[in-house]
Structure 1
Amino acid sequence: MIAEAGHFALVLALGLALIQSVVPIIGARLHDGALMNVARSTALAQLLFVAASFFALATLYVVSDFSVLNVFQNSHSLKPMIYKITGVWGNHEGSMLLWVTILALFGGLVAAFGNNLPLTLRAHVLAVQGWVATAFYLFILLTSNPFTRIASPPMEGRDLNPVLQDIGLAVHPPMLYLGYVGFSIAFSFAVAALIEGRIDAAWARWVRPWTLVAWIFLTLGIAMGSYWAYYELGWGGWWFWDPVENASLMPWLAGTALLHSSVVMEKRNALKVWTILLAILTFSLSLLGTFLVRSGVLTSVHAFATDPTRGVFILLILCTFIGGSLTLFIWRASTLKQGGLFAPVSREGALVLNNLFLTTACATVFVGTLYPLALEVITGNRISVGAPFFNLTFAPLFVPLLIAVPFGPLLAWKRGDLLGASQRLIAAGVGSVIAVAVLWAWTRGGSTFAPLAIGLAVFVIIGALCDLAERVNLFRASLPVSLRRAKGLPRSAWGTVFAHAGLGVALIGIVCETTWNTEYIASMKINDVARVGGYSLTFEGTTQHQRSNYREDIARFTVSRDGQPIAVMMPSKRNFTTRAASTTEAALLTRGASQLYISLGEATADGSIAVRIYHKPMVLLIWFGPVLMAFGGVLSLSDRRLRVGAPKPAKAGWRTLQPAE
């Protein structure tokens, strides 16, 4: 009965989405406020029903109802409760239901908190959300129904993919989907503006908080996914340029460009057409990521779908929304009035440069990801585009971008002083030179460019602090005055500092890990000692334990440094009998921002066991940087000017509202 209720709730959500797609558009054409307000009520009701459907599926997993095909294929009665719940979205059907639930959540939030929007704009935005929702409800109901019953229910389930039985699955997919789907709001705002043919600085202020929310979640989702792959897959790597990873990176790059472009539009009423295009492209890349992961064209732990029908359906959705929105853009873009002019050397110019490098980097990843797939479709030949290509093409684009990052906030709007900004960044330049000199003197081995890259990261971090020092008149006014100015700074200014500094912190982690990482790969017997990164690790044997739904072989290593024991590390291998599969659980020892990492291989006939031991200097900075960036985004979002958005316009219509500088 729960399955039928969940299925019926999903059908009702589809009906509401259809109403939301059509009636508000008619109301906008007829200037009928009652019909336009239907968008608000249907969006909230749709959220209620799809949430009920998702709750029904989660309940089926909790009670282990194996009469439902989806539960049978992805759960087991002995599985821990946390993995029963996370298993809801650890499969194709459940993940798509989570996708539309989050889509309905964002639409409901616009309906609930969009009272300051012009009525026609809100109607058009929610109608576009309804179009997207309708397409995905149809996809789920026609090709990926999570509530399909089994005629003869089995007594036990097949269990969830062992690799996905990890706490990271509780965080990574929801975070990623909140980012992917969150950009649908920016897309809906862009399409709504094109339909009405009106866009101004107020539009940018309305759309920027939603874009920022999506960007924050996508940043955290990518970081969490990277860390999950690092400790769960046992390879010791944190980024592999896998097509699925690239599918999440592309909308992040485009979304970062969109955030900066919307700032220019809000402050200077410029870059209107470009901002609209970026909003469309960002969500289009999110849809592309959904297609790559859910269509079955890729083989990955992320790619659950194998039915070609699903791939064709998602491809039709992709073509409809991307093709339709770009066609509308081509038709209407010429009618949009251009904004204010600015000199090349200005804050606007710096943000345009930022957009240029970010979108070029995004295009590079796009080509490297899709070219092998397109070539295989056309010729049948398979090629692999991996790390060498991306490292040689993507990385150089970020060098000039990072050099430009500290200059942007120090340049004035409309016309800036490059020499003056350079003078204010002298401290950052000196700090970066010192960092390069120290690293060249103290480090041995690795790339010659590694100290230069860390020097660049230090330049970015200190440059962000220089911007803060300039704003509070540090060293030019008394300390109490500077503290008062710091307290009075907008939170968005603090957010910019943290976000830019986070970029530099992540770069330090990337360079240190890839340059000075050391490894030990061998077969070890009891009492053998491995020496890695100044540590000695003694293998003391293995023990076996039976868990609820798997058997675990645990190895014990004693870690010492300079003859003094400091810790015990216990990596393991888990064997899941139901799935006839095994996973490797790496052991991690954190020392500051660095880590020791042990991963087990197969045992041999002579009693030895294959091990991989890594010392990864400063590796945690790779993920601390994105967390710092996301924290900066949260600070900016908490800025009252951004939360309140544009003032509510007069009833006469949607007026152009100039935001305060």
Structure 2
Amino acid sequence: MIPELGHFALALACVLAVVQSVLPVVGAERRDARLMGTAGPLAFGQLVAIGTAFGCLAWAYLVNDTTVSNVVANSHSAKPLIYKLSGTWGNHEGSMVLWVLILSVCGAAVAAFGRGLPTALKARVIGVLGWVAVGFLLFILFTSNPFTRIWPPPMDGRGLNPVLQDPGLAMHPPTLYFGYVGYAVTFAFALAALLEGRVDAAWGRWVRPWALGAWCFLTVGITMGSWWAYYELGWGGYWFWDPVENASLLPWLAGTALLHSAIVVEKRDTLKVWSVLLAILAFAMSLLGTFLVRSGVLNSVHAFANDPSRGIFILALLMVYVAGAFALFAWRAPRLSPTGIFAPISREGALVLNNLLLCSIAAVVLAGTLWPMFADILTGAKISVGPPFFNTATAPLAIPLVIAMPIGAMLPWKRADLWAALQRLWWAAVAALVIGFLALVVAGYPVWPVLGMTLAAWLVVGAAADIADRTGLFRRPAQAWRRAIALPRAAWGAAIAHGAVGISIAGVAGMGVATDTLVQLEPGQSTRLAGYEWRMDGLSDVTGANYRARRVTVTVLQDGKVIAVLTPERRTFIVDNQTTAEAAIHTNALRDLYAVLGEERGTAAVLRLHHNPFAPWIWFGGLAMAFGGMLSLSDRRMRVAAPAPKAATVPA
């Protein structure tokens, strides 16, 4: 009965979404307060309905209801509780229910916290979110029903994919989806503004928190996914330019450009067309990623589904939403004329350059990701586009972007003196050159890692120089602490996020000089790598909650002193008889010692050993970026329609 209740709740949510997509929008066009007033209750009703459906699906997983085919395909009674729960969204059908649940949460949040929004704009935004919900609820009901019954029920399920049975990956999809769906809200704001025919500074202030929140969640989601691939897949790398990895990178790039463009709309009442276009593109990239993951048109280790009928449905949604949005944009964009004027050398000009470079990188990634599909359709050729192409094609765009970031933060609005900004960054430039010199001469790094370390230092010290300049650290040091306390959290957050990009770049540069080896060792034998002695001490059997494993003990020594004991495993999951490699990692925050167990040959073991300098900095930088964004989001001025504080009364 519980699955039927969940199915009914989804159908009810679809009906509510249809009504939500019509009544508030019609009310906004007619200026009918009663119709516009239905937006909030409909959004909350949709949240209750979809929340009920998601709760029913989670209950089916927790009690291992084998009459539900989705549970049979993705769960088992022997699974640990956390993976029973994460199995709810660790499959195609469940992940789509999570997607619409987060969308309904966002719609209810706009209704609850958008009290300062103009009534007509708020009604249109919630109405557009209803349009989006209708498409995805129809997709679930007609192609991806998670409550389909199976009869007779089997004794138990087939279990969850072993590589998904990981705490990090359990949280990866929810954070990623909050990012994707957050851009559905900015998309709704863009379409609502186009329908109304007006984009102004207030619109930029309302959009910015949603763009920033979506960007933070997407940053965390990408970081967690990259970390999972690093330690779970056992490949020893951090990013493989996989189609699904690219699918999450594309909306992140467009969303980063949107975030900076919205700042200009709010501060200077210009770049309106840019901002609306980027809001549409960010959501379009999210939909494209959904299509790539679920259609099966591109092969990926991350793909959820391989079903052409589902892919066609999502492609139809993509065409309807995106083509409709661009048609509306083409009709209304001429009315979005900018009122602010600025010189090319200004903060506005720097942000325009930022947008151009980010969008160019996104175009390169998009072309490289989709080209294998088009080549197959047009010529029948089976080709793959890998890291050499992406690294070579994106580097000439990423390098000037990184160089411009600290300079742009130093430029004032409207008109600026470039030389004056560079003079305030002289010590950042000196620090970057010193770091590059040390990496080249002392460490002996190759050219690309040296360039990476130089750019990383430029960003980190440049972010510090921005804060020092804002607080007057060198001009009025006695007042610097007081000014630092009074500095808006948004300024601190921006500096932290920019510096965190440099930290991640340093980690990537360190991985450029990583070393590895593949060896076969008997117990007691050892090998040398990166100045360490790696000794294989023996093999043993281990039993887990729902798997059996072979574990090898590897002791890492330096000058006869034990540095770490690594225990990589090869796990065989009992239910589905799949084998996974569990890497063992020892880190000291400056480098990772990384070991993976391969095949066994008698008493010997095949081991792949890695020494990865600065690898932890990649993920620390990603989390620091998100922290900087959250710090900015906590600034009172970033809240939607927050009233300005009243000035103190001064006696006459």
* TM-score (norm. length: structure 2): 0.97
Residue 202 of structure 1 contacts residue 646 of structure 1 at CA under 8 Å; is this kept in 2? no
- Among 500, 513, 536, the residue aligned to 2:511: 513
Alignment of 1:41-120 (within 5 A): 41-120=41-120
More off after superposition, 68-77 vs 543-552: 543-552
- 1:298: Cα distance to partner? 2.6
- 1:436: Cα distance to partner? 1.5
- Among 513, 525, 529, the residue aligned to 1:532: 529
For 1:451, the equivalent position in structure 2 comes to 450
User: Aligned partners of 2:377 and 2:575: how far apart in 1?
Assistant: 36
Opposite residue 581 of structure 1, the aligned amino acid is: Q
For 1:169, the equivalent position in structure 2 comes to 169
Alignment of 1:13-24 (within 5 A): 13-24=13-24
Residue 272 of structure 1 contacts residue 339 of structure 1 at CA under 8 Å; is this kept in 2? no
Deviations 1:331-389 (A, max 9, x none): 11112232211000000001111111000000000100011111212222111111111
User: Aligned partners of 1:614 and 1:566: how far apart in 2?
Assistant: 15
For 2:236, the equivalent position in structure 1 comes to 236
Alignment of 1:577-616 (within 5 A): 577-604=574-601, 606-616=602-612
Opposite residue 530 of structure 1, the aligned amino acid is: T
For 1:9, the equivalent position in structure 2 comes to 9
Count of aligned positions: 644
User: Aligned partners of 1:306 and 1:232: how far apart in 2?
Assistant: 23
User: Aligned partners of 1:270 and 1:644: how far apart in 2?
Assistant: 19
For 1:207, the equivalent position in structure 2 comes to 207
Deviations 1:110-130 (A, max 9, x none): 011010100000100000000
User: Aligned partners of 1:499 and 1:306: how far apart in 2?
Assistant: 37
For 1:652, the equivalent position in structure 2 comes to none
Opposite residue 545 of structure 1, the aligned amino acid is: V
For 2:291, the equivalent position in structure 1 comes to 291
User: Aligned partners of 1:454 and 1:110: how far apart in 2?
Assistant: 42
Residue 234 of structure 1 contacts residue 584 of structure 1 at CA under 8 Å; is this kept in 2? yes
User: Aligned partners of 1:482 and 1:357: how far apart in 2?
Assistant: 35
Residue 117 of structure 2 contacts residue 641 of structure 2 at CA under 8 Å; is this kept in 1? no
Opposite residue 248 of structure 1, the aligned amino acid is: S
For 2:649, the equivalent position in structure 1 comes to none
Residue 271 of structure 1 contacts residue 339 of structure 1 at CA under 8 Å; is this kept in 2? no
- 1:565: Cα distance to partner? 1.4
User: Aligned partners of 1:476 and 1:27: how far apart in 2?
Assistant: 57
Opposite residue 477 of structure 2, the aligned amino acid is: S
User: Aligned partners of 1:464 and 1:546: how far apart in 2?
Assistant: 49
User: Aligned partners of 1:301 and 1:118: how far apart in 2?
Assistant: 46
- 1:2: Cα distance to partner? 1.1
- Among 485, 488, 509, the residue aligned to 2:486: 488
**Structure 1 residue 564 and structure 2 residue 564: aligned?**
no
Which secondary structure does the structure 2 equivalent of 1:553 belong to?
strand
Residue 205 of structure 1 contacts residue 646 of structure 1 at CA under 8 Å; is this kept in 2? no
User: Aligned partners of 2:317 and 2:448: how far apart in 1?
Assistant: 45
User: Aligned partners of 2:95 and 2:207: how far apart in 1?
Assistant: 27
* TM-score (norm. length: structure 1): 0.96
User: Aligned partners of 1:301 and 1:57: how far apart in 2?
Assistant: 25
Where does the alignment leave 5 or more consecutive residues of structure 1 unmatched?
A: 649-661
- 1:617: Cα distance to partner? 0.5
User: Aligned partners of 2:298 and 2:454: how far apart in 1?
Assistant: 38
Opposite residue 463 of structure 2, the aligned amino acid is: A
For 1:122, the equivalent position in structure 2 comes to 122
User: Aligned partners of 1:372 and 1:220: how far apart in 2?
Assistant: 29
User: Aligned partners of 1:508 and 1:547: how far apart in 2?
Assistant: 37
Deviations 1:247-280 (A, max 9, x none): 0001100100000101111100001111100100
Residue 114 of structure 2 contacts residue 641 of structure 2 at CA under 8 Å; is this kept in 1? no
Residue 596 of structure 1 contacts residue 615 of structure 1 at CA under 8 Å; is this kept in 2? yes
Opposite residue 20 of structure 1, the aligned amino acid is: Q
For 1:654, the equivalent position in structure 2 comes to none
User: Aligned partners of 1:75 and 1:437: how far apart in 2?
Assistant: 54
Residue 39 of structure 2 contacts residue 127 of structure 2 at CA under 8 Å; is this kept in 1? yes
For 2:630, the equivalent position in structure 1 comes to 634
Alignment of 1:433-452 (within 5 A): 433-444=433-444, 446-452=445-451
Opposite residue 96 of structure 1, the aligned amino acid is: M
User: Aligned partners of 2:393 and 2:564: how far apart in 1?
Assistant: 41
Which secondary structure does the structure 1 equivalent of 2:516 belong to?
strand
Percent of residue pairs identical: 54
User: Aligned partners of 1:86 and 1:638: how far apart in 2?
Assistant: 29
- 1:321: Cα distance to partner? 0.4
Opposite residue 609 of structure 1, the aligned amino acid is: A
For 2:650, the equivalent position in structure 1 comes to none
User: Aligned partners of 1:503 and 1:270: how far apart in 2?
Assistant: 27
For 1:39, the equivalent position in structure 2 comes to 39
Residue 201 of structure 1 contacts residue 269 of structure 1 at CA under 8 Å; is this kept in 2? yes
- 1:477: Cα distance to partner? 1.4
Opposite residue 492 of structure 1, the aligned amino acid is: A
For 1:149, the equivalent position in structure 2 comes to 149
- 1:34: Cα distance to partner? 1.3
User: Aligned partners of 1:588 and 1:82: how far apart in 2?
Assistant: 23
For 2:648, the equivalent position in structure 1 comes to none
Deviations 1:400-450 (A, max 9, x none): 111110011211100001010010001101111111221222113x42232
Opposite residue 494 of structure 1, the aligned amino acid is: W
- 1:593: Cα distance to partner? 2.6
User: Aligned partners of 1:506 and 1:330: how far apart in 2?
Assistant: 38
Which secondary structure does the structure 2 equivalent of 1:565 belong to?
strand
For 2:430, the equivalent position in structure 1 comes to 430
More off after superposition, 284-293 vs 329-338: 329-338
Alignment of 1:199-598 (within 5 A): 199-444=199-444, 446-479=445-478, 481-514=479-512, 516-598=513-595
Residue 70 of structure 1 contacts residue 147 of structure 1 at CA under 8 Å; is this kept in 2? yes
User: Aligned partners of 2:369 and 2:205: how far apart in 1?
Assistant: 33
Residue 74 of structure 1 contacts residue 91 of structure 1 at CA under 8 Å; is this kept in 2? yes
Residue 589 of structure 2 contacts residue 617 of structure 2 at CA under 8 Å; is this kept in 1? no
Residue 520 of structure 1 contacts residue 530 of structure 1 at CA under 8 Å; is this kept in 2? no
Deviations 1:514-573 (A, max 9, x none): 2x2111211111111122222212111111122232111111111211101132111101
More off after superposition, 230-239 vs 435-444: 435-444
Which secondary structure does the structure 2 equivalent of 1:405 belong to?
helix
User: Aligned partners of 1:644 and 1:288: how far apart in 2?
Assistant: 29
Deviations 1:569-598 (A, max 9, x none): 111010013212100100000123311000
More off after superposition, 575-584 vs 503-512: 575-584
Residue 589 of structure 1 contacts residue 596 of structure 1 at CA under 8 Å; is this kept in 2? yes
Which secondary structure does the structure 2 equivalent of 1:148 belong to?
coil
- 1:478: Cα distance to partner? 3.5
User: Aligned partners of 2:151 and 2:452: how far apart in 1?
Assistant: 61
User: Aligned partners of 1:507 and 1:645: how far apart in 2?
Assistant: 36
User: Aligned partners of 2:451 and 2:98: how far apart in 1?
Assistant: 44
